[in-house]
Chains A and B, each alone.
Chain A
């Protein structure tokens, strides 16, 4: 807490230098882990060359670069954003991600989303796993809306996803949930 009080003014100057709007900075606001599963959305940045299906969903392959690595997935929650494109601010260095796209997902579809996948190994052994996405509000000094999607495997948070079968499965699930919100454009400028 003391560290936060002492360090935040200095870091706030960094946010200013980066051109992050005041409304998006943390400014000593608390973590707010209550999500409106009924209407709130999550926004995430996606690379400029991503391919979308005709219905606006991501192709499973596009989910690869969009959610790489597929764990602790950073997003902005709608509640503390004025625009979905707020997620295009780079809070570490310039330039911002003006040319990137934005994808969205209703929080109700993401938070506690659980699915079972059946892994069949080469020897023919079948193992059933339960995967759950858990959403947490994880504010940054320059980005208060910042949140993360934790990936839980059989109730344990995954800190690294090395298993290729699991990568494929997580990509598939995320590609079904997220849709295009803001098309990547080389001419877009953050206000």
Chain B
């Protein structure tokens, strides 16, 4: 596409002929309209390229990549009626997964227990953490260190970020 007037020659459109510009309500020449259209097209293409670059960055971040995979896994498990997991399990576990990912923590395993709950497990050397999301809405947090009794805590979803903090402390070696 050119804007030097040559493209209009074949249509017998006189130079300087003005047409209404819908975006501003005023009138502009055909050359100006063509230039504006071209600029818009280029801006649109540029935005697509930028979006692709952003998406590429997301997908190359291993934590983000794993987050997407685990999110899909949770949704798949909750959709499968065989596991007896309801919307509360989905909602609570996805909330927890988001908190974990924001803190750059990933669970070692996520599995249905076959007993109306979804279990997240974390193996950190001699420390073990699990969090169980039940269909009743109950959340059970268990943490255990080798040769010590397990601590089992009833949780509310509002306090779930405390679990992420515990795991993060354990991961950085500061203990509980």
Contact = CB atoms under 8 A, between A and B. Distances in A.
Interface centre among A64, A116, A120, A168 (most CB of B within 10 A): A168
A169 interface: yes
B121 A165 contact: no
Contacts of A51: 109, 111
Interface string B152-173: 1111100000000000000000
Contacts of B156: 122
B92 interface: no
B140 A64 contact: no
A117 B114 CA distance: 23
A59 B115 CA distance: 14
Interface centre among A51, A60, A63, A118 (most CB of B within 10 A): A60
B111 A168 contact: no
Given A61-B121, A64-B112, A68-B114, A117 B149 contact: yes
B70 interface: no
Given A120-B153, A120-B154, A165-B152, A62 B111 contact: yes
Contacts of A69: 115
Contact of A64 (B109, B115, B149, B152): B115
B130 interface: yes
Nearest to B109: A59
Given A168-B130, A172-B130, A65 B152 contact: no
B119 interface: yes
A65 B114 contact: yes
A104 B151 CA distance: 27
Nearest to B112: A61
A11 interface: no
A119 interface: yes
Interface in A23-57: 47, 51
B113 interface: yes
B96 interface: no
A164 B134 contact: yes
Nearest to A169: B152
B136 interface: yes
Contacts of A172: 130, 142, 144, 150
B155 to A, nearest CB: 8
A61 B119 contact: yes
A146 interface: no
Contacts of B121: 59-61
A64 B111 CA distance: 10
A113 interface: no
B153 A64 contact: no
9 contacts: A60-B113, A61-B109, A61-B111, A63-B113, A120-B151, A121-B154, A164-B132, A164-B134, A165-B154
Interface of A: 47, 51, 59-65, 68-69, 115-122, 164-165, 167-169, 171-172
